[in-house]
Amino acid sequence: MKTLIIIDVQNDFMPGGSLAVPNGDKIVPIINKVQDQFDLIVASQDWHPRDHVSFASNHPGRKPYDVIHIHGQPQTLWPDHCVQETFGAQFHPELNTERWDAIFRKGTDREIDSYSAFYDNGHMKSTGLADYLKEKGASQIFICGLAADICVYYSLYDAFKEGFACFFIEDASQPLDVEGFQLIKDKMAYLGIQIISSEDIH
């Protein structure tokens, strides 16, 4: 079963949002266009409590993009983003959600950060996505969304580790760090994740 996973296409990651990804809004029409080529469509949604451990505002004396250690793991501190029940946490208003089969929320535990749609960063908690996909008979997993170098990459990595054939839809994704993104793509290629464009989906 050919499956599309749409990662975190939310208002706070759009231009003007609190954690804006450059050109993040440009991927919305591309994602809308490819959806009819998939048997199963799943989305992830960053859904943080206001006191989330990843927010710089919850660490006095720290500023966004500082790195600290939490539970033995390096933790980048971010601007407050995708706070539960806020406009910033909502999906982009032009994103077509009608054909989605499920939404998996992540980052809901204040104590742990979750880039991947499958697991938190320390692999302490599962979102249940891997079991859901296996139960549905998913085999080929196509992943796109925001940000390509963070949540999309970690979702691809976990999907690969779970044994799925993985495809990264590059033109339906945008990175936060444009200059450093080539290194991430090299990592994908090394793992055997196929990098494709939306025009390659048949």
Catalytic residue at 144? no
How far does the chain reach from its first CA to its final CA, in angstroms? 13
Residue 110: exposed, middle, or buried by beta-carbon count in 10 A (0-12, 13-18, 19+)?
middle
In a 3-state reduction of DSSP, which class is residue 42?
strand
Catalytic residue at 151? yes
Catalytic residue at 106? yes
**Are the CB atoms for 25 and 13 separated by under 8 Å?**
no
Spot the catalytic one: 82, 106, 120, 166. Answer: 106
- Distance (Å, rounded) from C-alpha 40 to C-alpha 136? 9
**Are the CB atoms for 187 and 148 separated by under 8 Å?**
no
Spot the catalytic one: 82, 144, 151, 166. Answer: 151
Spot the catalytic one: 8, 12, 46, 120. Answer: 8
- Distance (Å, rounded) from C-alpha 54 to C-alpha 56? 6
Positions annotated as catalytic residues are: 8, 106, 151
